[in-house]
Amino acid sequence: MAEQIKAVRGVKDILPDEIGVWRAVEQVAFSVLEGFGFEEIRVPIIEELGLFERSVGTFTDIVQKEMYVFKDKKGRTLALRPEATASVVRAFLEHQLYLKKRITRLYYSGAMFRYDRPQKGRYRQFHQIGAEIFGGAGGNYDGELIVAIVRILERMKISGFTVELNSVGCPECKAKYGAELKKFFSERSQKFCHDCRTRAQHNILRVLDCKVESCKSVLAHAPIMSEILCAECLGHMNEVIAYLASIGVSVRTNPHLVRGLDYYTKTVFEVKVENDENAVAGGGRYDNLVQQLGGPSTPAAGFAIGMERICAVVAVQEMKKPAISAVFLGEKALRDGTPLINALRSRGIKIAADYDDRPLKSQLKTADKEGTRYVLILGENELERREFLFKDMKSGSQQFVSFDSIEQFLKGLIDAADAHMR
């Protein structure tokens, strides 16, 4: 046999069994975001490398180590996007969207690429649903973004999550805090890993994100940002907290929370589910990015949810819509039954059919093995009585349902499953 080609390291196929959960998350996320007034934008997967260098930051791990960079046939240096905020900002400027609305709310979804070390929950191609607000400077906007994430998680019936919040301050606070952290670091530099020592030279705040245990234990005693914040930054942070409290969303402040992208100012946040180290979502404010990319001064904030991570926590069985299959016993049942099934399909009911003439017992065995929830059985007797034999494979119960009422009956089941998902 010829040698098989496998998917490249760190990327994965999303198989039919997983699609139900993916689609459910997408539908819920899009509907929640649209409910907050966000509009969809679709931006390209390839961009000029410079866009990410100028936004994510030249000295971040993402730009330094994790970018897929290549030259096209004309010698342009392009990159596969490691995240989409930079692209959304570029599009916002390129199409002068800031002229259309005072506050612009945009959301996106799609594949991102980071040449990271593959491990649980960490892929080289992964997918995000993200949202950005342009034009809003107050803490209420940051709060709204966090509420949107919380609503998405709640609608997906995910419980046991925590929202961690911090402020990395305005550029002045950041610089002041950086100086304090540098002092703390240089007094203990021998205790830090090699990567931290490099980070300390270029972007001291990045050391706070180190995952090495020995670094983490030293950093537990590092200076705290909130003690350094100016009145405006502190006021902003309090506004975010007050907004969330007014909606009944609880957050935990984590004074050492930083994020892997340089553009953040003031608010940063992450959402973690139960004891998982990996965040399912993260984001924050980036008041200087639009200007940094050549646009007018525009306050902005956003977040991204990791699809692989959120889908992993959604209970797969809970999300499965009822799968229905039709079984025909004998030639006459097949001939007369096929138009009935097709009529149901054209009314929006999804039904898979097995047209092969096999005994009922083995048909049911297949349905059971493949996880089909409901089976519609049509034999000659049923045809004569103008009814289907309906079998629920989960409970084992069965009943006759007339041709006239089958549509209503199946729609009732589908609606009940949908309501369960909501």
Of 284 and 299, which CB lies nearer to ligand AMP in the complex structure? 284
Of 207 and 281, which CB lies nearer to ligand AMP in the complex structure? 281
Contacting range for ligand AMP; rule: CB under 6 A; set: 146-154, 204-212, 230-238, 278-286? 278-286
Of 7 and 231, which CB lies nearer to ligand AMP in the complex structure? 7
**HSE of 414, CA atoms in CB hemisphere, 13 A:** 13
Does the footprint of ligand AMP cover residue 60 (CB under 6 A)? no
Does the footprint of ligand AMP cover residue 281 (CB under 6 A)? yes
3-class SS at 125? strand
Rounded least distance, CB 269 to ligand AMP, Å: 10
| Distance separating alpha carbons of residues 62 and 173, to the nearest angstrom | 24
| Distance separating alpha carbons of residues 229 and 267, to the nearest angstrom | 12
Residue of minimal Cβ distance to ligand AMP: 306
Scanning the structure block, which residue is given the tokens 């639009």? 290
Of 144 and 387, which CB lies nearer to ligand AMP in the complex structure? 144
Sort strands 398-402 and 387-392 into parallel, antiparallel or unpaired. antiparallel
**HSE of 216, CA atoms in CB hemisphere, 13 A:** 6
Q: Considering only residues 135, 255, 260, 379, which one is a binding residue for ligand AMP as defined by CB under 6 A?
A: 260
Rounded least distance, CB 327 to ligand AMP, Å: 41
Contact criterion met (CB below 8 Å) for 326 and 354? yes
Q: Which helix (H) or strand (E) holds 409?
A: helix 406-421
Rounded least distance, CB 121 to ligand AMP, Å: 6
Rounded least distance, CB 314 to ligand AMP, Å: 13
Of 121 and 138, which CB lies nearer to ligand AMP in the complex structure? 121
| Distance separating alpha carbons of residues 315 and 239, to the nearest angstrom | 35
Contacting range for ligand AMP; rule: CB under 6 A; set: 38-46, 118-126, 156-164, 219-227? 118-126
Does the footprint of ligand AMP cover residue 387 (CB under 6 A)? no
Q: Considering only residues 114, 151, 174, 266, which one is a binding residue for ligand AMP as defined by CB under 6 A?
A: 114
Q: Which residues pair with 166 in a beta bridge?
A: 268
| Distance separating alpha carbons of residues 144 and 150, to the nearest angstrom | 10
Name residues contacting ligand AMP, limited to 65-94 (CB under 6 A): 83
In terms of Cα–Cα distance, which of 345, 347, 346 is closest to 376?
345
Does the footprint of ligand AMP cover residue 308 (CB under 6 A)? yes
Of 178 and 306, which CB lies nearer to ligand AMP in the complex structure? 306
Rounded least distance, CB 83 to ligand AMP, Å: 4
| Distance separating alpha carbons of residues 43 and 108, to the nearest angstrom | 8
Contacting range for ligand AMP; rule: CB under 6 A; set: 113-121, 146-154, 377-385, 407-415? 113-121
Rounded least distance, CB 11 to ligand AMP, Å: 10
DSSP structure string for 240-273: HHHHHHHHT---EE-TT---S-TT-EEEEEEEEE
- For the chain, the distance separating the N- and C-terminal CA atoms, rounded to the nearest angstrom, is 48
Rounded least distance, CB 126 to ligand AMP, Å: 3
Does the footprint of ligand AMP cover residue 116 (CB under 6 A)? yes
Radius of gyration of the chain (CA): 27
Does the footprint of ligand AMP cover residue 142 (CB under 6 A)? no
The site that binds ligand AMP (CB under 6 A) totals a number of residues, namely 18
Of 163 and 215, which CB lies nearer to ligand AMP in the complex structure? 163
Contact criterion met (CB below 8 Å) for 203 and 60? yes
Phi, psi of 274 (to 5 degrees): 45, -135
Length of the chain: 422
**Interface positions with ligand AMP (CB under 6 A):** 83, 114, 116, 121-123, 126, 128, 259-260, 279-282, 304, 306, 308-309
